Amino acid sequence: MIVNLVAPRVWGCDPDILIDHYRDHVTSNHADIGVGTGFFLDRCGLPSATPRLALIDLQPNCLEHTARRLSRYRPSTYLRDVLSRVDEIPGGPFDSVALPGIIHCLAGDLTFKSRVFDNIAPLTRPGTKLFGYTLVYDGVRQSASRRLVHPLLNRLRVIDNANDHLGDLRHALSTRYIDCNIQLVGCMALFSAVVPTAASIRR
């Protein structure tokens, strides 16, 4: 319901755009953080039938549901809070790491939430692709339904994005990564970036 009704009508972002965003960036050595129901990961189609796929979430029920849904890929599941350092995941770093629809759930402003980018460092190496999407407040004023629904969802603590702004997301990415891209679709910010090598940081 959220994906097919709320996403296009309230957020102004068609689910197919998010599926395409996955397809553009997901690899066959992938960690997904904040899996929810696994809808987008299921629909995007991984580049290999036998990927290394790690599902990471705070909630056991989300991990169980998504692992069942994606059982064809034989995923591993890890109960972790991304507000703390995400370590002790066996098998070494990943080629892609996604933070899809999780940042707008975290409490605080984007400057505070940006610690998640540091906390996921153990999952990455130079060249790892980071991508995801998050609801920012910048696009909220554009539509009457968004002006109603966003404050309500914030009050109900379903999301916490009243202080999440595109400029802060851009700053959080560009101070840590290279090849940073952000596209605002409705009020959904689709982002991607690459973990730099030491040499590219010095440049």
Ligand X SMILES: C[S@@+](CC[C@H](N)C(=O)[O-])C[C@H]1O[C@@H](n2cnc3c(N)ncnc32)[C@H](O)[C@@H]1O
The contact set with ligand X (CB under 6 A) reads: 34-36, 39-40, 57-59, 62, 81-83, 100-102, 105-106
Q: Which residue lies nearer to ligand X by CB, 106 or 180? A: 106
Q: Which residue lies nearer to ligand X by CB, 44 or 194? A: 44
State which residue has the least CB distance to ligand X: 36
**DSSP 8-state code for residue 85:** -
Give CA–CA dist 53/111, Å, rounded. 29
Quick one: the chain helix, strand, coil %, rounded to 5? 45, 20, 35
CB 106, min distance to ligand X, A: 6
- H-state helical runs in the chain: 15-25, 39-44, 60-69, 110-113, 115-119, 144-155, 166-174, 198-202
CB 182, min distance to ligand X, A: 17
Phi, psi dihedrals of residue 115, rounded to the nearest 5°:
-60, -25
CB 110, min distance to ligand X, A: 15
Q: Which residue lies nearer to ligand X by CB, 8 or 196? A: 8
Q: Which residue lies nearer to ligand X by CB, 2 or 178? A: 2
CB 107, min distance to ligand X, A: 9
Cβ neighbourhood burial of 1 (10 Å; 0-12, 13-18, 19+): exposed
